Structure 1
Amino acid sequence: MSNPVDSKSPSGGDLAEVETAGHTIDHSADLDEKAKLSAYKGDAIEAENAELNMGVLEAVKLYPMAAFWAFVMSSTIIMESYCVFLMGAFVAMDQFKKEYGVIDKDGKYQIEASWQSALQMGGPLGAIIGVCLAGPLTSRIGYRWATIIALMFLNCFIFVFYFANSLAVMFGSQLLEGVPWGIFIANAPAYCSEIVPIKLRAPATQMLQMFWAIGAIIVGGVCYVYEAKMDPSAYRIPIALQWMFPTPLAILLYLAPESPWWLVRKGRLDQAAVAVRRLGRASLITNLDESVAMMRRTIELETSEKEPSYLELVKGTDLYRTLIVCGVYAAQNLTGNLIANQAVYFFRQAGIDSNLAFALGLITSALQTVFVMLSWILTTYLGRRTIYVWGSLINVCFLIALGVAGSVGKSNAASLAQASLGLIVSVGFTLGPAPASWVIIGETSAIRLRPLTTGIGRAAYYVVNIPCIFLATYMLNPTGVDLGGRCGYVWGATGFVCFILAYFYLPEMKGRSYREIDIMFKRHVPARKWKKTVIDINDDE
C-alpha cells in the first residue's frame, strides 16, 4: 500500500495533477491504468492457481463440455487414419491385387512396389500442402471454420477416389484428400490443448491417437467383411464409407465454441468469456473474467504487433520449440509407426494367410485403442517425457527382437514369432511414444504461433513419412528386397537415434501452465532440469 504522505505533491496538491513549466500534467489516467493492470494480474494469478491445484476428476466435473468438444475435434483424425489404413489393406486384398497388380516370381498377384509406395505417399504429399495452408488460414479465421471448410472439400474429393478406375487416378485422389487431412491434423492437437484445463491436456490430445486406432478398427472390420468378395465391391464399398464422417462432424463443429485462446489473441475478450462459459458447467464456472485474464497475461508475454509468420518459427527460443514439435512428429515414422500402419500387409509378408492377417490387423487396432486409454493415466501422472523417452527405448528392443526373428529362416514358428512381435511393436507404440507425442506437440509451441507450429511440425512428419513409406514398402514387398521381419533392424536403429535425441532435448511439461512453459523456454532451462525448476506465480519473464 502507498504511504498517505506521498499522495500529495510538495505544494500540497494531488500528484494526479502537477504543474510543470506552465503546463498541467494529468496522471489520473496512468494511475487508473496501473490499478486496472494490478487487478487484471491478480485475476490471472487466481485463475492459474485454480488450474494448477485442480484434480483430474474436478477438471472433468467443471469442464465436461470442453472434454466433449475436444472429443469431437479429435475425431476428425479418423478420416486420415481410415484412408491410410485403407490403402494398406487394399495392397493386401486379393481382388484389388488381381485387378491392379502384376504376377510376382511365386505366381501370385502383387501391387508393384513402386505403385504401392505411390498410393501410400499420395495422401502425405497432399497433406504437406494442407498443413502449410492450415497455419495462416487458422490464424485468420479460427480453428472451427478452417476445419469445417476442410471437411466440405473432403466430401468432394472422396468422389474422385470412388470413381477412380486406375492406380494413377487413385494416386491423384489421395493427393487431393491429403490437403484437408493436413488441416485436420494441424488444428486438432492445438484446439484440444487450448480448450481444456491443464490436468486434461494429456487425455484431450491423446484422443487423437485413440481415433487413429478407431479409424484402423473401422477399416479392419470393413475389409475383413468385404475382403472375400471377388468383385469391385470388395474395395468400392470401403471407399464409399468415407462419406460417413465429414458432414456430421462439420455440423458438430459449427455448434462448437471457438478456442478462447484464439479469441483472446484476436482481442475478442467478451467472446472469449462466452467460450469459456460454454466449455464449462455454467452453474459451477464463476471465474470467467479470471480465466480470460490468465489467457491475456500469457499472450501478452508473446505480444507482437505483427501477424504471426513462419519466419518467426526459426528465431530465438521459438526455434527450439519448433524443433521439438518437428522432431517429435517426424520420430513417429521412425519408432515403429510404419509397422503399425502396414500391419495387415506385414502379417501377410510374414507368412500369415489372408483371413488371419485381416483378423490380426483388427485385433491390433482394438488393442491399440485400449492401450491409448491406458496411456492417459501414464502421461497424466508420470509425465510426457518419461513415457515418451523410455517407451521409445522399449520399442527399440522389440524392433531388434523382430529383426532377429526374421533372420532365423522360414518356418511356421518364425512366421508366428514375427507376427507376434509385429503386433507387440504396433500396440506398444500406442502405449508410449505415440500418445505422449500428441501431448508434447499440443503444449510446446507459443500460443501466438501455435497454428503455424503444429502445421509446420506435421509437415516435418510428412517429409520424413514419404521416403519412409517407400523404404518400408521396398523392404517388405517381394518385388523389392523382401526383408520381412528383418526390417526391425532398420527401424530399431532409427528408433534408437530418436531415443537419444529425446533424452537430451525433450523437456517435461507435465503440470505446467502455458505461462510457465513460455518463461522456461525464454530462460533456456536445460531439458533435463525442467521437472525440478520452480517458476514463481508472479513472474512474467
Structure 2
Amino acid sequence: MSSGIEEKKLEGEAGVKSEGEAHVAHNEKLDHSQVLTNKDLMNEAIDGENNEHEQGVWEAAKSHPLACMWAFIFCFTIVMESFDMFLNTNFVALPYFKKQFGVLIGANEYSIPTRWQSALFQSGQCGAFIGVFAAGPITNRFGYRWTTIFALIFMNATIFISFFSTSLGMLVAGQLLEGIPWGFFISNSPAYASEIVPLALRGACTATLQMSWSIGGIIVAAASYGYNNRNDEWSWRVPTALQWIFPTPLLILIFLAPESPWWLIRRGRKAEALRSIERLGDKGERSHKTLAMIERTVELEAEMGGSPTLLDLIKGTDLRRTAIICMMYASQNFAGNLIANQATYFFEQAGISPDKSFQLNLINSCLQFVANALSWPLSAWFGRRTIYLWGTAINVTFLFILAICGSVHQNHQTSYAQACLGVIISFVYAGAMGPITYTIIAETSAVRLRALSTGVGRAAYYVAEIPMIFLASQMLNQTGWNLAGKCGYVWGSTAIVCWILAYFFLPELKNRSYREIDILFNRKVPARQFKETHIDVTENE
C-alpha cells in the first residue's frame, strides 16, 4: 500500500515538474499563423508586448546582453563607410597626396582640383546608391546575415583597386565599387539592430551605428596624423590598406550571429525564429510570448498586403512613413554633418596649419565618440522628436556664429574660433541628430517593408549628399569659392528648413511597439499627437 502511495506521489511530482515543459511542447504544436484568431496565442502575444513595455533599459540590457552584442557587431560594419569617407577627405589635405595628384597653385603649394575632389568624395556615395537599392530585395530573399556576409566578401575584393591605384581615376573607380557594399551595410544594420533587441534598447542599440561612424573617423584620423609627414606614397597607401582589418573578422562573427526572428517569421520559419529568440535572451515560456507578439504584428501587416515590393513604399499610409524616413536621412546632410566629414580640410581652410589640422581632426573624432556614448542615456531619458528638434536648434545657432566669425577680419584668433566651432558643431551632431536619426529610421518603417524602406531612405541620403558634397567642396576649396567659416550661412539656413519639417512631420515613437506604430500610422494621427494617443494592448488594426 505504501508503495502505491509513493508511486502516486512520484507521478504527481513528475506532473508538476513537467507542466512547464508540457506548456512549451503544446505551444510548439500550435499553428502560430492563427495568432489573431486563437485566444491562447493572442493572450501570449499581449503578455509578450506588456513584458516589453514593462522592461527598463538596464533590466533589458542585463537580460539580453547577446542581443546587444550582435546589434553592435552588425552596426560596426558601417565603420567601413566611415573609414573611406574620412580617408578621402584627409587625402585632399595630405601634403604628399596633393603633390602627387594635385595642381600647383602657388610657391610649392599644391591642391586637388575641385572636380577631382568632388569625384573622390562622391564616387563612394554613387556606389552606395546602387547598393541600397540592391540590398532590400536581396535581404528579403536571403536574410540579414547572408546578405551582409556577401557584402563583406565584395568589400574585401574592391579594396585592392584603391590600394594599387596610380591615378585619381583609379581611386575614383575603386571608391565607386567599394561604395556598393556600403549600401548593404547601411541598409541592413539599423533594421537588424532594431529587430533583435527589446523595445527599451532600440534607441541605444541603433545609436551605436553613429558610434561606429566615429570609430572609423578615429582610426583614420590617427593613421593620417601618423603618416601625414611622410614624403612618399605610403603616406596614403598605408591608411588605405588598414581597411582590410575589418571585413574578415566581421564576416566570421556575422556568420555566427542569429538571424532576425522577424525576418524568419516573415519567411514562415517559425522553429528557427524561436531558436533565434532564445539565443537573443528570451528563454522558456517568455520566448513563446515574444514569438506570439512578433507573429501578431507580422500577421496584422500581412493583411495589409502580400509580398513586399518597392511600390508598396508609396502606397497608402506607407507613403507617409517612407517620406519621414527619406526626410530624416536626407537631413543628415543639412545640419553641419558635412563640416564633420571634411573636418581636416575645413580646419586648413579656416587658417590652421596642416599638422595642427590633423591633430584637431583626431581630437574632433574622439569627441564625436564621447558624444555618441552620451546619446545612449539621452535616448533613454528623452523622446526621439525632442532630441532631434533641440539638437538641430543648437546647431543652427552655432552654424550662424561660425558664419559671423568667418565674415569678420581674419587673424589667428578668428581661425581658432572657427576651428573650435567646427568641433562643437560636430560634437552636437554626433550626440543628437546623428544617432537619433538611425533610431527614428528603424522604428518608422513597417516591419514587412523594413529592408526596402531603410534602403530607399538611404538612397534619399545619397541623392541629397552628392550635390551637397560638390557644394561643400566648392565652398571650401581654394580653387573654388574659398568661404571657410562663411559656409555656416548656407548650412545654418538648410538646418532651419530641417527643423521646420521635423516640427510638423516627425512623430514621437519612443516606447511604442511596432504594432502600436502601425496603428498610429493607419489612423493617420498627426505627428504632434503621437505621444498622447492611447493604443490599447488588445487592439488589432
| TM > 0.5 | yes
The answer (yes or no) to whether the contact 2:35–2:292 under 8 Å persists in 1 is no
Alpha-carbon offset, residue 306 of structure 1: 3.0
Large movers: runs of 4+ above 3 Å: 33-36
- Measure the CA separation in 2 of the matches of 1:281 and 1:248: 27
Alpha-carbon offset, residue 45 of structure 1: 0.2
Amino acid at match of 2:288: D
Alpha-carbon offset, residue 432 of structure 1: 1.3
The structure with the largest helix share of the pair is 2
Q: How does 1:379-398 map to 2 (within 5 A)?
A: 379-398=379-398
Amino acid at match of 2:302: T
The answer (yes or no) to whether the contact 2:89–2:345 under 8 Å persists in 1 is yes
Amino acid at match of 2:168: L
Secondary structure of 1:149 counterpart = helix
Q: TM-score, normalised by structure 2?
A: 0.93
**What residue in structure 2 maps to residue 108 of structure 1?**
109
Residue 224 of structure 2 is aligned to residue 223 of structure 1: yes
- Measure the CA separation in 2 of the matches of 1:217 and 1:432: 19
Alpha-carbon offset, residue 413 of structure 1: 1.0
- Measure the CA separation in 2 of the matches of 1:124 and 1:34: 43
**What residue in structure 2 maps to residue 21 of structure 1?**
none
Q: How does 1:55-454 map to 2 (within 5 A)?
A: 55-105=56-106, 108-280=109-281, 282=283, 286-303=285-302, 306-454=306-454
Amino acid at match of 2:326: C
- Measure the CA separation in 2 of the matches of 1:530 and 1:464: 28
Q: TM-score, normalised by structure 1?
A: 0.93
**What residue in structure 1 maps to residue 22 of structure 2?**
none
- Measure the CA separation in 1 of the matches of 2:258 and 2:518: 25
- Measure the CA separation in 1 of the matches of 2:533 and 2:380: 19
The structure-2 alpha-carbon separation of the partners of 1:34 and 1:477, relative to structure 1 and needing over 3 Å to count, comes to closer
With 427-436 and 97-106 compared, the bigger mean Cα shift is at: 97-106
Alpha-carbon offset, residue 499 of structure 1: 0.2
Alpha-carbon offset, residue 389 of structure 1: 1.0
Same amino acid, percent of matched pairs: 53
Amino acid at match of 2:529: K
Q: How does 1:477-492 map to 2 (within 5 A)?
A: 477-492=477-492
**What residue in structure 1 maps to residue 527 of structure 2?**
527
Secondary structure of 1:339 counterpart = helix
Alpha-carbon offset, residue 35 of structure 1: 10
- Measure the CA separation in 2 of the matches of 1:193 and 1:106: 54
Secondary structure of 1:512 counterpart = coil
Secondary structure of 2:539 counterpart = coil
Deviations 1:240-279 (A, max 9, x none): 1100000100000000000000001111111111000001
- Measure the CA separation in 2 of the matches of 1:340 and 1:135: 29
Q: Which runs of 5+ in 2 are unaligned?
A: 1-29
**What residue in structure 2 maps to residue 496 of structure 1?**
496
The answer (yes or no) to whether the contact 1:189–1:208 under 8 Å persists in 2 is yes
Deviations 1:98-138 (A, max 9, x none): 00000125651000011000000000000000000000000
- Measure the CA separation in 2 of the matches of 1:453 and 1:113: 34
Deviations 1:404-449 (A, max 9, x none): 0000022111101110111111111111111110100110000000
RMSD value, Cα: 1.4
Secondary structure of 1:301 counterpart = helix
Deviations 1:489-541 (A, max 9, x none): 00000000000000010000000000000000000111111111110000111
Deviations 1:53-97 (A, max 9, x none): 001111011111000000100100000000000000000000100
- Measure the CA separation in 2 of the matches of 1:374 and 1:286: 35
**What residue in structure 2 maps to residue 460 of structure 1?**
460
Alpha-carbon offset, residue 375 of structure 1: 1.0
- Measure the CA separation in 2 of the matches of 1:34 and 1:74: 32
- Measure the CA separation in 2 of the matches of 1:525 and 1:318: 13
Q: Which runs of 5+ in 1 are unaligned?
A: 1-28
- Measure the CA separation in 1 of the matches of 2:347 and 2:433: 23
- Measure the CA separation in 1 of the matches of 2:174 and 2:186: 19
Secondary structure of 1:104 counterpart = strand
The number of aligned residues is: 509
- Measure the CA separation in 2 of the matches of 1:35 and 1:465: 44
- Measure the CA separation in 2 of the matches of 1:333 and 1:413: 28
- Measure the CA separation in 2 of the matches of 1:61 and 1:35: 31
**What residue in structure 1 maps to residue 6 of structure 2?**
none
- Measure the CA separation in 2 of the matches of 1:108 and 1:516: 60
The answer (yes or no) to whether the contact 2:35–2:296 under 8 Å persists in 1 is no
Amino acid at match of 1:347: F
- Measure the CA separation in 2 of the matches of 1:318 and 1:49: 26
The structure-2 alpha-carbon separation of the partners of 1:86 and 1:34, relative to structure 1 and needing over 3 Å to count, comes to closer
Deviations 1:431-469 (A, max 9, x none): 111111010011000000000000000000001000000
Amino acid at match of 1:196: V
